[in-house]
Amino acid sequence: MKITIAIDGFSSTGKSTIAKMLAEKLEYVYIDTGAMYRAVTLFAIRIGAIDDSKQLDTPLLESQLDAINLRFERNGDTGKADMILNGENVEREIRTMAVSTKVSIVSELAAVREKLVAEQRRMGADKGVVMDGRDIGTVVFPDAELKIFMTASASARAHRRYKELLDRGDDVNYDEILKNVQERDYIDSHREHSPLKQAEDAVPFDNSHMGLEDQFERIYSLAQDRIGG
């Protein structure tokens, strides 16, 4: 039996990493919804709908939403699914701080969420998917057979993000990243449309002091239990 697995939680909790590992182990499809919102944010930056002062020109972005085409494409070098925006591989660009500092502002826009939620539901209609994001278990797939809600302290998440960007060769500042994590937490939890919250039937999972292997084994065990009925 194939099921739908929804992994929600705060930014930089490692949702995507765990979701990718789980999908590979189960031979399921992995859908990175965060990459989709990041791609729309990059699009908004490119058309001048959001600037460095984080002022969003809502009418401009909404008028151009139909011009956005998103898909995932397997990267032969990494084996991962890269984000393709209007035919262009933007996987690296959407992971920059320039996008990270603006994504929560763009993603709280109702028209953006409606467009992407519809696309996510289409992608996961046949089950056998692992999807991570902010509202998968509450809005996109409220009937998912397994829901995980991941969290960790803001400092632990900032350290992880800082190391990830340093390892990639980016010039970053820890304090700036910590501030971004805290700001995203507030915006994601307080937005009007589909705020970040734990679904009543989700399994809470604090990984502040857990290694990746331990996290994976625990969540994989939960998935096996649900798949087994």
Does 79 belong to an annotated binding site?
A: no
Does 15 belong to an annotated binding site?
A: yes
Does 10 belong to an annotated binding site?
A: yes
Q: Are 92 and 99 within 8 A, CB to CB?
A: no
The amino acid at residue 44 is A
Does 104 belong to an annotated binding site?
A: no
Q: Are 58 and 109 within 8 A, CB to CB?
A: yes
Does 11 belong to an annotated binding site?
A: yes
Does 189 belong to an annotated binding site?
A: no
Could you tell me how many helices (H) and strands (E) the chain has, helices first?
Answer: 9, 8
Does 12 belong to an annotated binding site?
A: yes
Across the strands, what pairs with 73? 82
Please state, in angstroms and rounded to a whole number, the distance separating the CA atoms of residues 159 and 80: 24
Angle formed by the axes of helices 174-190 and 154-167, nearest 10°: 130
Does 128 belong to an annotated binding site?
A: no
Does 229 belong to an annotated binding site?
A: no
Q: Helices marked H in 139-173 — which ranges?
A: 154-167
Neighbouring CB atoms inside 10 A of 61's CB total 22
Known binding-site residue numbers for ATP? 9-17
